[in-house]
Amino acid sequence: MKENKIWNDYLPEDMQEHWTVYECLKESEDSSTFLVKETATGILCVLKWGRNRQAEFLRNEMEIMKKMADRKLSGIPKAYRIFEENGEVYLVREYIEGMSLAQMILQKGGISEAEICRISRKICQTAEQFQNPDEPMIHRDIKPENILICNGICKITDFGLAKVASESTRTMSFKGYGTLQYIAPEAWKSEKNTIQMDIYSMGIVFYELALLDYPYDIISNDVDAYRSAHMFSRIKRTNDLKNVLGADVASIILAMLEKPIQKRLKSWEEIEEQLGNPSLEANDDLGNIVSLAIGKKIETDTRIQQQIEEENQKRKEKEDFCNLVRNQFESVIVDFFEQFTDEYNIHLAGNDKCRLQSTSLEGR
């Protein structure tokens, strides 16, 4: 592995003595992630740099990872050190040599039902570790890029947005909460954080594993489009999901994606148990009964969600029409009266001038 001197220059001088940069893994305006090697030990690590809001996320990530380390959890990377200089933050953590779910989806081009269930159970077992009864953690940025598989072990990374359950989500800024494609419906309304936010996000991940597709049709890649999809749109290709995974496994994923939090699955333990339930291989008669029941439920939920979506669309169209009428009124009627007033004032001023001149002549 060859040192990359260009990226190495990004580190403060005192850090360059102890760390060598080999690769930039991810880069944005206010943050970057590097693969580095510690000079003294030769150990590969991940170094994350951030400034402005990203610096705040790195401080939070270090705090969360320390709490997890105190509980000796195996499902997260080890945190090593954190540095600060001129308001910029550098965090060094364990390097995990494995493959992210995002890479797995791209390289394998599709995963079998058995493997999806196996991977999903491992992910649930890892996520379940965060649920300390005294202080359960909500990750809030579950996505394929943040889930790594290493030698059959699942690890979840990037805790910059993690919070303690029951704390309220701050007003949505879309920089301080998750990734648009995976944000749960209640988070868009800034409701309190619960484990079911992560369960919803993971439901989308499992859906993508199964179908290599996103569960919603997104017309435009903007905030409003994703907000509308998560809050009102129905899940697409539900029949394909059942065909690929079977009705029982498909029903688990759809239950993770329920929009009302009251109807959504409530714990990782519950999901893991259902994924590993022998009844998934039950006899055909029972399977057919379950399939029919699930099909009817999906049909009902789809119809309700479609009605909600249509009502919201009508409301938006009405608002757009009102705005159009208002704009036309202002541009036509108001402009007309302003122009009339200006011309009238000019005319009135002209008449007053004539009267003054006439009075002056009569006086002579």
The more confident residue out of 68 and 228 is 228
* Contact assessment for residue 51 and residue 57, using Cβ atoms and an 8 Å cutoff: no
pLDDT score of 169 more than 60: no
pLDDT score of 297 more than 80: no
> What is the residue whose two structure tokens read 């011309």?
343
* Contact assessment for residue 93 and residue 45, using Cβ atoms and an 8 Å cutoff: yes
Average pLDDT over residues 84-92: 90
pLDDT tens column, 11-23: 777 788 888 888 8
Average pLDDT over residues 229-235: 92
Q: What is the pLDDT of residue 303?
A: 66
Closest by alpha carbon to 160, among 227, 109, 217, 93? Answer: 93
Most confident of 109-113, 159-163, 176-180, 275-279: 159-163
Q: What is the pLDDT of residue 1?
A: 54
> What is the residue whose two structure tokens read 């029941």?
293
| Alpha helix segments (H runs only) across the chain | 5-8, 13-16, 53-70, 101-108, 113-128, 195-211, 223-232, 238-245, 247-256, 268-275, 284-329, 335-363
Pairing of strands 163-164, 147-150: unpaired
Torsions phi, psi of 154, nearest 5?
Answer: -95, 135
Q: Please state whether 348 falls in left (phi above 0), alpha (psi between -120 and 50) or beta.
A: alpha
pLDDT score of 37 more than 50: yes
Torsions phi, psi of 293, nearest 5?
Answer: -65, -45
> What is the residue whose two structure tokens read 């951030």?
50
Which pTM value belongs to this model?
0.71
Signed CA dihedral, 85, 87, 90, 91: sign only = positive
The more confident residue out of 132 and 109 is 132
> What is the residue whose two structure tokens read 């704009």?
327
pLDDT tens column, 312-335: 778 777 776 776 677 666 656 766
Question: CB neighbours of 344 closer than 8 A, spacing ≥ 6?
Answer: none
pLDDT confidence tier of residue 105, bands split at 50, 70 and 90: confident
